[in-house]
Structure 1
Amino acid sequence: MTESADALIIRLVTDRLLKAHPDADPAVVHGSVRTAYEELKYARVRTYLPVLMERRARDLLSAADQAEPDA
């Protein structure tokens, strides 16, 4: 995959997660997707990269939600 293909994947995964978590801070969602991408960008098999990124980013968002103190 090219760098522009990776950028498209990042954007699409971010958009999906923003729709799934409308109350989440967009910066946190983007950061979670970016972290997921950084963890997976050197994967040899890239077919499932978008799915794996989304799952990892959801895990990170869940952890961030649990870490926030209740207001």
Structure 2
Amino acid sequence: MPEETEDAVALLLHVTERLLKAFPGLDPRIVRGAVRTAYADLRYARVRTYLPVLMERRAHDLLSAAEQE
């Protein structure tokens, strides 16, 4: 991941922590990867107001699919 602003790093850490609690049975590396993937999908959005919630939802969907495997 290219250099990120402090706000982006804080957002990634916050979402990762929340999802680690929501998916305690998954490997933390999988959770971090899902968060990075979700951020990469949305990082160039023009309207950034809802980026945190959209990113968390996207990562949650990825993790739900991984949990079912």
- What is the TM-score of this pair, normalised by structure 2? 0.89
Gap runs ≥5 in structure 2: none
- Identity %, equivalent residues: 62
Instruction: Please identify the structure whose Cα radius of gyration is greater.
Output: 1
Out of 20, 23, 42, the residue aligned to residue 22 of structure 2 is 20
Structure-2 residue corresponding to 1:59? 61
Moved over 2 A (4+): none
Count of residues in Structure 1 that have an aligned counterpart in Structure 2:
66
Q: How does 1:1-71 map to 2 (within 5 A)?
A: 3-67=5-69
- What is the TM-score of this pair, normalised by structure 1? 0.87
Gap runs ≥5 in structure 1: none
Over the residues paired in the alignment, what is the CA RMSD in angstroms? 1.1
